[in-house]
Amino acid sequence: MELDGVKRDTISWSSLISGYCDNEKFSEALEMFRVMQFDDGIEADSFTLGSTASACAALTVLRPGKEVHGHAIRRGLYSNNFISCALMEMYFRCHELEAAEEVFYDTADTNTVTWNILISGYAHANQVNRIQESLSVMRKEGFEPNIYTWNGIVAGLMDNGENEFALKMFSEMQTSETKPDVFTVGMILTICSRLISIERGKQSHAYSIRFGYDSHVHVGAALVDMYAKCGNIRLAKYAFDSISHHNLVTFNTMLSGYAMHGLGHNGLALFHQMLADGSTPDAITFISVLSSCVHNGSIEDGHRYFNMMARYGIEPELQHYTCMIDLLSRSGQLSEAYNLICKMPMQPDVVAWSALLGGCVIHRNVRLGEIAAKKLIELDENNISNYVLLSNLYGIVRRRDDLAKTRQIVKEKAMNKSPGCSWIENKGQVHVFLAGDACHKQADEIYATVKRLNSHMRMQDDLLVM
């Protein structure tokens, strides 16, 4: 600009900094702010300070953010709405709750946007009580929570694992007659996946169908994930087929569902459909594809897809190697699996060595089994599962002395195996059970029912024998 005889002013600097922020070049935006202040000596206005504070929020950098706040105070702009919103966002992201609150209360004219940032900040900071208090005060001051208010609350609670409370807030949102959007429904479905709550997931699915969200990529992928994790792959496929335009995320979610349910042939068929549709696979895609090969027990397919990754410029990661080790170990190619572990460009983890040891137990290979067990114990000395697998191997090949020694080690270390766990959903409530559990409030009734069922099954067996 100066070459044309035009001097750089506040407007041109603000436009430049704002442009960097719009293109997510936040470090460059901060550098331009520094040059503007110290090299050109130009005073920042509210737009410059607001954009710079937004860059600080995006980078989660507190010190530069405080400097911007200081500039705003010196210029008498600290109560400006645009600057206040950016500063509050910055302080919340830097976990400075009190500073964010001070900015809010110093704001001259609070509105729905400033309230949304405050309440969303509380949600992300897991300040549950403050969320409800703020909603109440917000309404008293004449501001009604909108979809952005509720989405901010649900997102923050979900990030903090407050899944049940997030569902409670979703119910409150519905009573307020605010219509959820695709992002709300997508988050609620993710929460249902975490809670393994298929009934509440089905309710959200019905809601998405009613408003035409089920064909949306964001909601569709969440539905597929929810049904797959809740154990219903048929409904997962139904949700997948309802999506209007598939992308890499939807294909990967369905592929992961098939792998999770051990449906290798379905997974590989979908992978070829994905390629035919012109989608380019990524590293996540190939984890599911290789997992499908493991379930199919197809070494040839495993090698083919593992080598195919190079065609798409994908470097195999630890999980890809682990899938191949698992495939080879289960198929009895133990030497090849061990050689792959030794040649891997990264250190094998517990999962890789466990896969090899599991294969050694199946195929009774004591030599490699002992090597794998030694490595596992070095990596995770106090994990009883490593000793259990080794004991199983010694038991199968009838090496009773080694079996006794391994059991003695477990006894001396006072290690206990974690009890098996299962759960069932009934009338919207998930009931969790551990092996030998007597803590459930209906434990007496449950065990009485199990006793009756066992008695009934024994009677049936007696009838069959007769």
Q: How many CB atoms lie within 10 A of CB 454?
A: 10
**What are the tens digits of pLDDT across the range 277-334?**
999 999 999 999 999 999 999 999 999 999 999 999 999 999 999 999 999 999 999 9
**What are the tens digits of pLDDT across the range 74-115?**
888 878 888 899 999 999 999 999 999 999 998 878 899 999
Contact 139, 106 (CB under 8 A): no
pLDDT over 90 percentage in the chain: 54
Element (H, E) at 422: strand 421-426
Nearest residue to 225 (alpha-carbon basis) of 199, 200, 260:
260
Q: Is the pLDDT of residue 466 over 50?
A: no
Q: How confident is the model at residue 357 (pLDDT cuts 50, 70, 90)?
A: confident
> Which residues 6+ apart lie within 8 Å of 132 measured at CB?
none
Return the pLDDT at 49: 87
Helix crossing, 112-124 with 147-159: angle to 10°?
10
Contact 228, 195 (CB under 8 A): no
Return the pLDDT at 463: 44
Nearest residue to 315 (alpha-carbon basis) of 282, 351, 358:
282
Helix crossing, 350-363 with 366-379: angle to 10°?
150
Q: How confident is the model at residue 3 (pLDDT cuts 50, 70, 90)?
A: very low
Q: Give the separation between CA 14 and CA 159, rounded to whole angstroms.
A: 34
Q: Give the separation between CA 431 and CA 424, rounded to whole angstroms.
A: 5
Q: Give the separation between CA 366 and CA 370, rounded to whole angstroms.
A: 6
Return the pLDDT at 445: 80
Return the pLDDT at 435: 64
Q: Is the pLDDT of residue 418 over 60?
A: no
Collapsing DSSP states into helix, strand and coil, what is residue 78?
coil
The whole-number average pLDDT for the span 437-466 is 70
Return the pLDDT at 465: 39
DSSP string, 86-132: HHHHHHHHTT-HHHHHHHHHH-SS--HHHHHHHHHHHHHTT-HHHHH
DSSP string, 180-213: P-HHHHHHHHHHHHHTT-HHHHHHHHHHHHHTT-
Nearest residue to 289 (alpha-carbon basis) of 305, 278, 273:
305
Q: How confident is the model at residue 460 (pLDDT cuts 50, 70, 90)?
A: low
Question: What is the 3-state secondary structure of 298-310?
Answer: CHHHHHHHHHHHH
The whole-number average pLDDT for the span 5-24 is 80
Return the pLDDT at 14: 81
Average pLDDT, the chain: 86
Place of tokens 């890789």: 352
Q: Is the pLDDT of residue 141 over 90?
A: yes
| Residue 246, both tokens | 């598939």
Burial (CB count within 10 angstroms: exposed 0-12, middle 13-18, buried 19+), residue 220: buried
Q: How confident is the model at residue 46 (pLDDT cuts 50, 70, 90)?
A: confident
DSSP 345: S
Q: Give the separation between CA 22 and CA 42, rounded to whole angstroms.
A: 22
Q: Is the pLDDT of residue 366 over 90?
A: no
Q: Give the separation between CA 321 and CA 323, rounded to whole angstroms.
A: 5
The whole-number average pLDDT for the span 357-383 is 82
Q: How many CA atoms lie within 13 A of 326 on its CB side?
A: 20
Return the pLDDT at 422: 63
**What are the tens digits of pLDDT across the range 248-270?**
999 999 999 999 999 999 999 99
Collapsing DSSP states into helix, strand and coil, what is residue 281?
coil
Element (H, E) at 433: strand 429-434
Return the pLDDT at 455: 80
User: How far from the centroid of its chain's Cα atoms is residue 350's Cα?
Assistant: 22
Return the pLDDT at 1: 47
**What are the tens digits of pLDDT across the range 148-198?**
999 999 999 999 999 999 999 999 998 888 889 999 999 999 999 998 889
Place of tokens 């409800």: 132
Nearest residue to 75 (alpha-carbon basis) of 127, 115, 37:
37
Q: Which domains does the chain have, with CATH numbers?
A: 1-109 (1.25.40), 317-420 (1.25.40)
pLDDT over 70 percentage in the chain: 87
DSSP 440: S
Position with higher pLDDT, 354 vs 253: 253
**What are the tens digits of pLDDT across the range 198-252?**
999 999 999 899 888 989 999 999 999 999 999 999 999 999 999 999 999 999 9
User: How far from the centroid of its chain's Cα atoms is residue 326's Cα?
Assistant: 24
Q: Is the pLDDT of residue 442 over 60?
A: yes
Position with higher pLDDT, 433 vs 349: 349
**What pTM value is reported for the model?**
0.79
R_g of the chain computed on alpha carbons: 29
Contact 236, 228 (CB under 8 A): yes
